[in-house]
Amino acid sequence: MSSSGILALFIVCFCTSGRLWATATQVTYDNRAIIIDGKHRVLVSGSIHYPRSTTQMWPDLMKKSREGGLDAIETYVFWNAHEPARRQYDFSGNLDLVRFLKSIQDEGLYAVLRIGPYVCAEWNYGGFPVWLHNMPGIRMRTDNDVFKNEMQNFTTLIVDMVKRENLFASQGGPVILAQIENEYGDVMSAYGEEGKAYMNWCANMAQSLDIGVPWLMCKQDDAPEPMISTCNGWYCDQYQPRRSNIPKMWTENWTGWFKNWGGKDPHRTAEDLAFAVARFYQLGGTFQNYYMYHGGTNFGRSAGGPYITTSYDYDAPLDEYGNLNQPKWGHLKQLHDLLHSMEDILTTGNVSSVDLGDDSLWGTIYSNEGGSSCFLANVDQGSDKTINFQGINHTVPAWSVSILPDCLNVSYNTAKVSTQTSVMVKKANVAEDEPISRKWSWRPEMDDKAILLGKGDVTVNQILDQKDAANDLSDYLFYMTSVNLKEDDPVWSYNMTLRVKSSGQILHAFVNGELIGSQWSKNGGESFVFEQNVKLNHKKNTISLLSATVGFRNSGANFDLAPSGITGPVELIGYHGDDEVVVKDLSSQKWSYKIGLEGLNQELYSSQSLKWQEDSFPVNRTLTWYKTVFKAPLGTDPVVVDLLGMGKGLAWVNGNNIGRYWPSFIAEGDCNLEPCDYRGSYDSSKCLSNCGHPTQRWYHVPRSFLNDNGDNTLVLFEEFGGNPSSVNFQTIAIGSACISAEENRKIELSCQGRPISAFKFASFGNPQGACGSFVKGYCEGSKDALSVVEKACVGKESCTIDVSEDTFGSTTCGDDVIKTLSVEAIC
């Protein structure tokens, strides 16, 4: 293989399913860039995971991605979703990978296919099907024939499927890059020499599939030829590939962060994210991917972690529902457009660094026969710096990059946001008078006598790991046993407890059919010991322990071996006086196991034939099913259901599982109420909010799940106990839009599909404050700014305003004041 990584070129033109596919595309690379049909490219990509949205959302997500300046969409492939049982495959609905790739192509975008098939992604079990864990002799992600055979089978299945539809670029399709494994370099040392052998096997196996486009191995510095190693992280400007013949690529630029149950809301500022991107391209990067560009929703039981929330919003440029997350989306779009305009010089020009006399200042010049382009970076976390560059003074704010396409004039600075901030609001469902009109019916879960009697589906003389016993068929598994206590049993006492060691998720303990207590971990990753007083009889006593998981671990070395469910021991403790304690270990006696719940097995969430009760309506009752009927909110805005008042459980709308809910889990700790300071390195503990409130109160109900005409059914399975009387549906839309922009630029204001109805504030001069609290400064333009913007914008969905004295009149601000327009529009 030469240093350019040249791959074979195929010329094809044919028709499939009514589509005329384009001539094949040649994808190669050198040490500067990915090369597409002989052209070195600056490529900007964004992650969108098809199972975290719906097929109806895909075209709009692709359109907004392209309009945001993306060249490509990156996605993982989710093995456990596609092969839930061995050799039984599912590519239906939002698992239709081929349809997703064609949606990308229809919008004129490229695709990056991260087959893995280990994905991490805060996805249940890292994307591995749990049946793998239960195969005899298997060891995952290492040089193990059982695992490698299964991995190769699935990887080949995906590659063959994509080939059949001619979706690789070498066939005229959109897929320009593929990935094998994922972040294995982080854990490879834990597997020793077998890990190294496995990594090399992955590379050889992938290359043998002959897909005609380059393969990636992210965070794998020692990836063998011709694999391309890439960087993942908050910042990758300092990353350099170990091999000199591959380009500098960034497969995961984390746009925010995920959220755990009990966790606070993360936020990464638009300024810092743009800074990271600009620094990467300043220092030789030519491909970067936002993880995530649209995070979406963890429908059903797909969330991993454990304890990953149902919302996977990720503070991405497109929010969970597909709305523009402004100003992040717009600020990055401006950067993308500028970088694309500099594509040739960035990927083929000569590069030189400029000594600016300060360790915190970085100057870079790209030049070719056509001219030069420059970057000026100030990485100081607190101080703005004035730089005399080529005879011109430029003030570069702290922790920012200025881009000068002609090396003379600043076209963009990462710290100066001139796109709008959109304030999203939730609006009541006007289709009906809710929640007052809501009528509920209910059913108890615990009416199964088999459980109370301790009879299950499988019986063994030991305590099993939940993955072994349940095979991930349900969150819920009953561990059941019985104990006969005679009066002379040494453990017998009038002061007895039941003690259970659990793996750290959720436990409900029943003795003789009565709930004696529940307990759960605060973070889902630590084991705990449940101990509760218990009254037993001098006869047979039934102990039923209901273990509930909230996603299996998805990352780390040997994550697949992390214990789940009840680990044991399970003990009866008899206290005799002050000093004598007798322990009776029940762990090795006969245990019976029952997977799931009766309501789940009967499919109460979709069945129309089973009867529900309408009288004696209970609240705050554990293990209870609730059902109601509602009208779909009017319009096309995204829909959410407010589950405040409920405890924890699962929710279905018209039989579609919208995910786990847990609004009773409060985000604890302290949040800084001051505005987030973009300056300085970001991590997941910075810029947190929502302390003291439910971790997640609102849950996404995609429009495609709803019947616009007629009734819709909501079914809740309540595990802890809650009151559904306040449950209601709302829509999410932009309520107001704000912009602060310096003079001599044009700004666009948009209500994203609805008209601008009024302006709350407008001032040109030196206005102060932030969106929602703007105030006028000591100088203003001679024209009434409010009248100017009202005339230009009211009644329109969007409008463009020239921020200048020509538009707003001369000011008395003086030459030392940077004149600014601040506006707040009502949508």
Q: How far is CA 9 from the centre of its chain?
A: 36
> Could you give the 3-state DSSP secondary structure of residue 507?
strand
**Collapsed DSSP state (helix, strand, coil) of residue 694:** strand
Give SS3 for 734.
Answer: strand
Strand locations in 145-204 (E): 175-180
Q: Cβ–Cβ contacts within 10 Å for residue 200, how many?
A: 15
Please choose, from the candidates 725, 640, 667, the residue with its C-alpha nearest in 3D space to the C-alpha of residue 311: 640
The catalytic site residues sit at 183, 252
The conformation of residue 446, written as its DSSP 8-state character, comes to -
And the tokens for 207?
């290359």
Q: Where are the beta strands (DSSP E) in 666-819?
A: 698-701, 711-718, 728-742, 745-750, 758-765, 798-803
Count the Cβ atoms, other than its own, within 10 Å of residue 558: 14
Distance CA 502, CA 566 (A): 4
Q: State the first-to-last Cα distance of the chain, in angstroms, to the nearest integer.
A: 57
- Burial of 784 by CB count in 10 Å (0-12 exposed, 13-18 middle, 19+ buried)? middle
What is the bridge-based pairing of β-strands 361-368 and 350-354? antiparallel
Q: Please say whether the beta carbons of 215 and 179 come within 8 A.
A: yes
| Residue 54 and residue 63 in contact, taking contact as beta carbons nearer than 8 Å | no
Instruction: Dump the DSSP string for 464-503.
Output: PPHHHHHTTS-SEEEEEEEEE--TT-TT--SSEEEEEEE-
SS3 729: strand
Tell me how far apart the alpha carbons of residues 309 and 315 are, in angstroms, rounded to a whole number. 14
* Cα of 601 vs its chain's centroid, Å: 30
* Residue appearing with tokens 């990464």: 268
Residue 797: both structure tokens together: 């969905």
Query: Which amino acid makes up residue 421?
Result: T
Which runs of consecutive H residues, i.e. helices, occur in 56-124?
Answer: 58-67, 79-82, 97-106
Q: How far apart are CA 82 and CA 95, in angstroms?
A: 7
Tokens of 705: 């799940």
Residue 328: helix, strand or coil by DSSP? helix
Question: Is 561 strand, coil or helix?
Answer: helix
DSSP assignment string, 132-144: HHTSTT--TTSS-
Give the dihedral of Cα atoms 160, 164, 167, 172; nearest 10 deg.
130
Evaluated on CA atoms 242, 244, 245, 249, the torsion sign reads positive
DSSP conformational letter for 463: P
Beta strands per DSSP E along 635-757? 639-642, 649-653, 656-661, 698-701, 711-718, 728-742, 745-750
Question: Contacts for 459-463 with beta carbons within 8 Å, 24 or more apart?
Answer: 459/590, 459/591, 459/592, 459/593, 460/590, 460/591, 460/593, 461/588, 461/589, 461/590, 461/591, 462/587, 462/588, 462/591, 463/566, 463/567, 463/568, 463/569, 463/570, 463/587, 463/591
Token pair, residue 661, equals 């809910």
